[in-house]
Amino acid sequence: MDIITTENLTKTFDGFTAVDHISFSVKKGEVFGFLGPNGAGKTTTIKMLTTLLYPTQGSATIAGFDILKQRADVRENIGVVFQEPALDTELTGRENLDFHARMYGLSQEVRKKRVFKLLTLVDLLDKKDVLVKHYSGGMKRRLEIARGLMHSPTVLFLDEPTLGLDAQTRRAIWEYIKQLNKDENTTIFLTTHYMDEADFLCDRIGIIDHGKIMVMNTVDMLKKSIGNDVITLSCSDIQKLQKRLEQESWISKITPYASFLTLGVERGEEKIPAIFDIARTVNVTISSVDVRRPTLDDVFIYYTGRSMREQDHEAPHNGTKKPARFRLRWQK
């Protein structure tokens, strides 16, 4: 059963198209992710689906309810964790959850039970009577996730759930998300610009760039779609080598990116000598080669023609500008 369906959903702001005719669907119980750089239209999509913005064009349904005509029913069925913290910092953690529960019309009995259960789930039970302004960033995030679940929504929207958090907290939050997807059978729609997050959490992802879905599939299928192995090489003349390599039928995909050339092939390690031979015939010197299993980053480069990490220097686990995967493993 499809919990979310969209048809040509579009949003323009003063002539700028943030979301451009996107159509997709998410099944019940699935963890679906939008992967894309900042400004790709992820948050705008979430805001339309959660009735906070009106679409310029197109339509969508959540749990069978139209986001334009049945707004109250849609709101009934969704929980949202926004990208920016949306807590009342002058209230305690428990009060924030209680406020939410009352807004959703839960009875006192249910409220108490859910507050206890969810605070336990996110390890905040001992901090429940502390004002939220004294919480750390990670604690606030966990509280927000707990709040999004208070009313047992059919779908939980998570907009960049681990943005700006340290590696350890991110791990913990991933575990919570996995667990609640399993325990409460909550369908999850999340957006992220972290490859590892999409890889770890999502059953299916859509790669979104400039407001358009470039490709949508399971993580495994996406990786397989660009070949079993990926060879990344840098050389003296990328264009010349690319032109020559395009004549080889055993190379499934060729993508130039910055000073590198990425090739999708089968049994990559056996192909390296052949590539060197070809390079020599066109007088191109290869300076480094790297063979590995495809990552979501390769998928992203292939479908968008650029790396997502170009816009993403704030990734907490990766401070260096040059992606780790481009370490020169094999030097001539």
Q: Which is nearer to another protein, 105 or 273 (CB)?
A: 105
Told to check if 53 binds another protein by CB under 8 A, we report yes
Q: Mask 84-103, x = binds another protein (CB under 8 A)?
A: xxxxxxxx---x--xxx-xx
Told to check if 52 binds another protein by CB under 8 A, we report yes
Beta bridge partners of 62: 4, 65
Tokens at residue 143, please? 């509280």
Instruction: Give the span between the Cα atoms of 8 and 221, in whole angstroms.
Output: 24
Of the residues 42, 75, 114, 204, which one makes contact with another protein according to CB under 8 A: 75
Of the residues 32, 35, 47, 145, which one makes contact with another protein according to CB under 8 A: 47
Q: Mask 136-155, x = binds another protein (CB under 8 A)?
A: -----------x--------
- Residue 231, C-beta contacts closer than 8 angstroms, at least 6 positions apart: 262, 263, 265, 268, 271, 272, 275, 289, 290, 291
Concatenated DSSP letters of 60-102: EEETTEETTT-HHHHHHHEEEE-SS----TTSBHHHHHHHHHH
Q: Which is nearer to another protein, 86 or 282 (CB)?
A: 86
Coil/strand/helix, residue 28: coil
Of the candidates 171, 170, 150, 2, the one whose C-alpha atom is nearest the C-alpha of residue 80 is 150
Told to check if 169 binds another protein by CB under 8 A, we report no
Q: Which is nearer to another protein, 91 or 272 (CB)?
A: 91
Q: Which is nearer to another protein, 75 or 204 (CB)?
A: 75
Instruction: Compute the least distance from the CB of residue 95 to another protein, in Å.
Output: 7
- The site for another protein, by CB under 8 A, has a size of 30
Q: Which is nearer to another protein, 45 or 50 (CB)?
A: 50
Q: Which is nearer to another protein, 16 or 327 (CB)?
A: 16
Instruction: Compute the least distance from the CB of residue 55 to another protein, in Å.
Output: 11
Do 154 and 187 meet the contact criterion of CB atoms below 8 Å apart?
yes
Q: Which is nearer to another protein, 147 or 193 (CB)?
A: 147
Instruction: Write the single-letter amino acid at 66.
Output: D
Instruction: Compute the least distance from the CB of residue 230 to another protein, in Å.
Output: 40
**Which residue is listed with tokens 């305690």?**
92
Do 176 and 59 meet the contact criterion of CB atoms below 8 Å apart?
no
Burial annotation 132-145 (CB, 10 A radius, 16+ → b, else e):
beebeebbbbbbbb
Give me the residues that bind another protein (CB under 8 A), please: 47, 50-54, 72-73, 75-76, 78, 80, 82, 84-91, 95, 98-100, 102-105, 147
